[in-house]
């Protein structure tokens, strides 16, 4: 699975908006749009490994904080 597919899966699994993704990985919303553009698109840019790693870490942290708050 490539990073674009991973990003799409994370967005779907966590019900994220593109603006949320941008805020979490500290990029502009347009950058997320470029990452999600079809590979054939002129605006497509590959998703950096660090963006996926940072997003996964922040989402896991958010999930664990929600669990603690519910206890």
Cα-Cα end-to-end distance for the chain: 35
For the chain, give every domain's residue range: 3-70
Q: Residue 68 pLDDT more than 80? A: no
**CATH code of the region 3-70:** 1.10.260
What does the pLDDT read at residue 63?
86
pLDDT digits over 13-28, tens only?
999 999 999 999 999 9
DSSP 8-state assignment for residue 41? S
What does the pLDDT read at residue 66?
82
58 phi/psi in degrees, rounded to 5: -65, -35
pLDDT digits over 26-38, tens only?
999 999 999 999 9
């Amino acid at each position: 699975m490539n990073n674009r597919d991973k990003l799409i899966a994370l967005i779907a699994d966590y019900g994220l908006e593109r603006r949320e993704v941008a805020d979490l990985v500290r990029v502009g919303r347009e950058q997320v749009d470029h990452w999600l553009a079809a590979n054939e698109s002129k605006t497509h840019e590959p998703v950096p490994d660090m963006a996926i790693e940072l997003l996964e870490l922040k989402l896991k942290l958010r999930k664990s904080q929600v669990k603690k708050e519910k206890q």
